[in-house]
Structure 1
């Protein structure tokens, strides 16, 4: 996070980026939230996975927030996925922004919004089951259609959370990300994540064993 409110930070004190996760299942390589710019993300991916960008078959966005997709253009041969609710809400917001930009005759803003609309148009609505062992897990609240991926194997369930649970401090204090679109829905998503997952991949932090499950 650029500024962590639960550390008492105000304003931007560092460069912000989200957690990027690689899931390999059923012969597919699914990259979740390619947050870093391509010139940063690709060398890191090569270092940690030895996979070139063309090896990624799918990109899944937990939300359409710009920070979660700065590197998405590097994976132009992959299928891009998002929830239908998030796509529709983002589309409505972008159309409104485009109308405002056109009324103001702001050409730079028009180009920016049109480029965002082109990215969104490339995204497909994710089905309930992305591949065998990887299920869509709706986590509405932070944004209208935010969602994670639930990765199941014989012994455990791992949930890629996105901003539904952004950091270890949010998890420990039971607090949802702010600002959020619907506080009550975000709180419900937070609680449900703790009920279903053995392992949590936090949206702006690392991977952690679910402390609720660990105590059971």
Structure 2
């Protein structure tokens, strides 16, 4: 944790449904993203509230002393369900997502809705579209020393946050860096929308970050910094 004016705290460590670098006999789990609280000035930004509303609300209080009503902003590194399971707990906050993600996912959802004939599926898609509409296109700077850091590849508009401390940088990377094992191996998460783009984004994280908050793991020191 940096003593600079922007600080961050891990609220909940995420998990993959099946970890690619663990034994193959795993039982699939419900995936959820790592949730991070970023505080800068009078802004409390919650990144990727992946757990259900009641659970993430309790974790927030346990880990920070804050209540859901204290959160001013929620930022989603991508729009996948594992990154937004607890959104409803933060109705008083502004909800943000990178503009490219919002537009590309929006077009895809609308196309699926128009082509779908099953009414039950159409209702689900309609709810997804309404949720995406509630999420606004994020500005380049969310708060002092908190900048958007586009990392496309896993999804069309995956986007992290770059935290500028006085002597170091932290990148909240979302699924651009899935876990510590993925970072150590220089590998991207399977199922990426654009494998080549995802690989380029991972390299970009390694070039700029001193500390990395992965999409489904605890904060780690950039392996390249350990060797210098």
Q: Does 1:148 align with 2:160?
A: yes
Q: What SS does the aligned partner of 2:60 have?
A: helix
Mark the runs of 5 or more structure 2 residues left unpaired by the alignment: 1-15
- Alpha-carbon separation, structure 1, partners of 2:23 and 2:91: 39
> Which residue in the other structure is 2:6 paired with?
none
Runs of at least 4 residues of structure 1 off by over 6 A? none
Normalised to the residue count of structure 1, the TM-score between the two structures is 0.95
- Take 2:25 and 2:182, find their aligned partners in 1: how far apart are those partners? 16
| 8 Å CA contact retained: 2:54, 2:89 | no
The unaligned stretches of length 5 or more in structure 1 are none
- Specify the alignment match of 1:162 in structure 2: 174
Contact 2:57 2:67 in 1 (8 A): yes
Q: Quote the offset at 1:11 in angstroms.
A: 7.0
Partner residue in 2 for 1:187? 199
Does 2:109 align with 1:97? no
SS at match of 2:46: strand
Partner of 2:144: 132
Q: CA deviation at 1:214?
A: 2.3
CA deviation map 1:169-209 (0-9, x unaligned): 10111110110011111011000101101100011000011
For residue 100 of structure 1, report the CA deviation from its aligned partner: 2.4
Whether 1:85 aligns to 2:97 is no
Provide the residue aligned with 2:61 in structure 1.
46
Contact residue 20 and residue 32 of structure 1 kept, 8 A = yes
User: Greater CA deviation, 1-10 or 43-52?
Assistant: 1-10
Show CA shifts across 1:43-80 (max 9, x none).
Answer: 11111111111100000000011110010011111111
User: Which residue of 1 is the match for residue 35 of structure 2?
Assistant: 20
TM-score (norm. length: structure 2): 0.90
Does structure 2 retain, via aligned residues, the 8 Å contact 1:3–1:10?
A: no
CA RMSD, Structure 1 to Structure 2 (Å): 1.2
Is 1:30 paired with 2:32? no
Check the 8 A contact 1:4/1:10 in 2, yes or no.
no
Q: Which has the higher helix share?
A: 1
Q: Is the 8 A contact 2:48 2:75 kept in 1?
A: yes
Secondary structure of the equivalent of 1:111?
Answer: helix
**Matched pairs, number:** 213
